[in-house]
């Protein structure tokens, strides 16, 4: 049986489709202080560990911006690059449509492909994911945590965090060392993971011990975004070991196979600890999104932005941060300021690119103030709208009124 399972794993064929422009923008927004945070090597290694890679496709406008600078890197890893020029007719959804059509065509013409890996956090791919899974295909989604909502995570076979896969962290991005808020994130995630194990115990049909490897697969089926490494554990066995005496009765060795088995306590002996949604949201705003809740601090930053552009001279995010940071009395960290400024850029926001050089990272590209931005209130409106969008992306089931109550 074990040999058959090994052969089946070796015979698995997989295909990778990267919405590269989406991933590149998400990488820059999540880690503005890092140069080139989107690394392809670990992505390919991860896919190769799952099966034989028979298709590698990436979608973007390869003529401008950071995507143009990465062309050689994609050629090195054997990607077929689909060029999607940014036009008013195609816009953002051009990549979505082309990717979806290619995936569906490959699914029909190449039925031996059992695993489809989609690199994007865009919820427009949810109907595609459902269609693939209805055909019996496995669908792994990879993206940066801050740009992938829970809806897409829960609809795929498994979600793989690129923050985790690329070994990126706030400290690596040049932000503050681990703070109390960062510790709170880990604690909230561990409580949520404990609840996940309790959900498994509550719904399982067999009350006997469970193989450790099978238990992890079951947890991923319930929550495709589960990862013990995100919780600070180097292995799944250590995570389960941390629950001994609580949810888990113990880890024993199966005499027949020599593999570890997990035994559980009875449900009525387990203390049900729930995640506080309000605390989780507050932690998300403070640490994951680096939201500035102090209106006076925001106002001061926005006033300095308007003063900075009075001469109408283009400036990069780095130049803006260098000019503004000494004047805000360290009320926020440099990393938070960089993230705020980077988040204000983009179509329909506060800044727009004056001239994009494909060889220059976005954070170093000169930008100008949009004509529609004239007052602090204009910037405040854009900033709050951006924060609400991010919260809804992470907590799609949250009522708009609750989001409005917190993000203000």
User: Which residues are CB-contacts of 339 (< 8 A; sequence separation ≥ 6)?
Assistant: 29, 32, 290
User: Which residues are CB-contacts of 208 (< 8 A; sequence separation ≥ 6)?
Assistant: none
Residue 352: per-residue pLDDT: 84
Most confident of 52-56, 93-97, 177-181: 52-56
The proportion of the chain whose per-residue pLDDT surpasses 90, expressed as a percent, equals 36
**Tokens 């064929």 belong to residue:** 13
Most confident of 209-218, 221-230, 285-294: 209-218
Residue 245: per-residue pLDDT: 87
Q: What is the mean pLDDT of the chain?
A: 82
Least confident of 212-226, 318-332, 344-358, 365-379: 344-358
Write the CA distances from 121 to 2, 150, 285, integer angstroms.
36, 10, 19
Mean pLDDT across the stretch 159-186? 64
Mean pLDDT across the stretch 234-256? 91
Model confidence at 90, pLDDT cuts 50, 70, 90, reads very low
Report the relative pairing of strands 113-119 and 13-18 from DSSP bridges.
parallel
- Higher pLDDT, residue 36 or 200: 200
Residue 207: per-residue pLDDT: 81
Most confident of 93-107, 181-195, 304-318, 322-336: 304-318
Residue 178: per-residue pLDDT: 43
Least confident of 190-204, 262-276, 361-375: 262-276
Strand 260-264: give its sheet, edge to edge: 210-211, 260-264, 248-253
- pLDDT tens digits, one per residue of 73-87: 999 999 999 988 764
Most confident of 132-136, 176-180, 202-206: 132-136
Where does residue 195 rank: exposed (0-12), middle (13-18), buried (19+ CB within 10 A)? middle
What does the longest C-alpha to C-alpha distance in the chain come to?
77
User: Which residues are CB-contacts of 206 (< 8 A; sequence separation ≥ 6)?
Assistant: none
Which one, of 350, 311, 303, lies nearest residue 327 by Cα? 303
Report the relative pairing of strands 158-161 and 138-143 from DSSP bridges.
parallel
**Tokens 């593999």 belong to residue:** 259
Mean pLDDT across the stretch 271-291? 67
Residue 58 CB neighbour total at 10 angstroms? 25
Mean pLDDT across the stretch 114-135? 92
Residue 403: per-residue pLDDT: 78
- With 80 as the cut, is the pLDDT of residue 146 above it? no
Residue 360: per-residue pLDDT: 60
Residue 304: per-residue pLDDT: 94
Write the CA distances from 106 to 16, 17, 84, 95, 404, integer angstroms.
11, 11, 19, 16, 43
Residue 91: per-residue pLDDT: 41
Contact 22, 122 (CB under 8 A): yes
Model confidence at 355, pLDDT cuts 50, 70, 90, reads confident
- With 90 as the cut, is the pLDDT of residue 128 above it? yes
Tokens representing 290 are 């680096």
- pLDDT tens digits, one per residue of 371-403: 889 999 999 999 998 888 877 766 666 677 877
Q: Nearest 5°: phi and psi at 144?
A: -85, 135
Tokens representing 242 are 């941390």
Most confident of 209-218, 265-274, 357-366: 209-218
Model confidence at 241, pLDDT cuts 50, 70, 90, reads very high
């Amino acid at each position: 049986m074990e040999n058959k399972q090994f052969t089946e794993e070796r015979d698995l064929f997989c295909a990778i489709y990267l919405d590269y422009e989406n991933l590149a923008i998400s990488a820059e927004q999540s880690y503005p202080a890092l140069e080139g945070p989107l690394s392809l090597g670990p992505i390919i290694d991860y896919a190769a560990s799952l099966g034989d890679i028979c298709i590698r496709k990436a979608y973007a406008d390869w003529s401008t911006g950071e995507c143009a600078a990465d062309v050689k890197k994609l050629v090195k890893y054997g990607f077929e690059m689909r060029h999607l020029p940014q036009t008013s007719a195609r816009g953002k959804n051009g990549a979505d449509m082309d990717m979806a059509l290619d995936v569906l065509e490959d699914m029909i013409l190449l039925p031996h492909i059992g695993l489809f890996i989609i690199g994007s956090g865009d919820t427009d791919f949810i109907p595609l994911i459902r269609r693939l899974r209805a055909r019996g295909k496995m669908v792994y989604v990879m993206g940066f945590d801050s740009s992938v909502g829970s809806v897409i995570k829960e609809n795929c076979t498994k979600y793989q965090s690129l923050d985790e896969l690329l070994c990126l962290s706030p400290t690596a991005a040049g932000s503050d060392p681990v703070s109390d808020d960062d510790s709170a994130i880990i604690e909230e995630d561990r409580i949520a993971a404990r609840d996940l194990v309790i959900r498994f115990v509550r719904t399982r049909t067999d009350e006997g011990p469970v193989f450790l490897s099978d238990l992890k697969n079951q947890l991923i089926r319930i929550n495709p975004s589960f990862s013990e490494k995100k919780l600070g554990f180097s292995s799944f066995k250590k995570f389960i070991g941390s629950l001994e005496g609580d949810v888990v009765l113990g880890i024993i060795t199966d005499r027949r196979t020599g593999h570890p088995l997990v035994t559980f306590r009875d449900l009525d002996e387990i203390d049900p600890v729930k995640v506080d949604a309000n605390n989780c949201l507050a932690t998300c705003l403070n640490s994951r999104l680096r939201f500035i809740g102090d209106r006076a601090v925001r106002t001061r930053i926005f006033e300095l932005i308007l003063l900075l552009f009075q001469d109408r001279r283009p400036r990069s995010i780095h130049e803006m941060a260098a000019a503004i940071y000494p004047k805000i009395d360290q009320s926020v960290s440099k990393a938070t300021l960089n993230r705020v400024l980077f988040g204000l850029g983009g179509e329909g926001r506060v800044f727009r690119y004056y001239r994009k050089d494909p060889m220059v990272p976005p954070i170093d590209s000169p930008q100008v103030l949009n004509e529609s931005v004239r007052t602090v209130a204009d910037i405040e409106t854009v900033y709050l709208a951006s924060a609400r969008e991010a919260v809804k992306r992470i907590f799609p089931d949250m009522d708009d009124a609750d989001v409005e109550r917190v993000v203000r």
